[in-house]
Amino acid sequence: MTSRVIFLSYASEDRWVAEQLRRRLSEGDVCTVWWDIEDMAGQRVQTSIRAGIAAAHEMVVLVTREALTKDWVRHEVAMADYRDIPVTLLLYSVRAQDLPDPWLGMERVDIRDADRYVEQARERARGES
């Protein structure tokens, strides 16, 4: 089992893109990606999400127009921020000026640079093993 846990936050409408990101991060078992499809079986949603964030070393948020309208996405980011868990915002067809004020100081990566983010996350995980 790997030691680096990444919490993946996204809007359900963006599930296909989130799945591609999860697959890339999980390649070679370097990172464990927490996301709702696999990690909430039999648990209350809120309890499961809290546990996932508590276990995370970092969070990546797939920020789309849909995600910006979701209270759960904002709540997950706030929980991670409260716990001092580093948050990376992966912007997909969203501009920085569209972000909520509390997110403006967080690391941002354009979706076109997703491969760079994935490689950096995997390097962080390799450095911990």
* pLDDT tens profile 33-48: 987 655 445 556 778 8
CB-CB contact of 2 with 26 (8 Å): no
Distances (CA, A) of 8 to 88, 96, 97: 10, 20, 22
Ordered by where they begin, the domains of the chain are 4-128 (3.40.50.450)
Q: pTM of the full predicted structure?
A: 0.90
Q: What are 84-127's pLDDT values in tens digits?
A: 999 999 999 999 999 999 999 999 999 999 999 999 998 888 88
Beta carbons within 10 angstroms of residue 11's beta carbon: 20
Provide the 8-state DSSP code for 105: T
Q: What are 69-85's pLDDT values in tens digits?
A: 999 999 999 999 999 99
Give the tokens for residue 60: 């990546």
Q: Torsion angle of alpha carbons 104, 110, 116, 120, nearest 10°? A: 20
- State how far the Cα of 122 lies from the Cα of 118, in Å rounded to an integer: 6
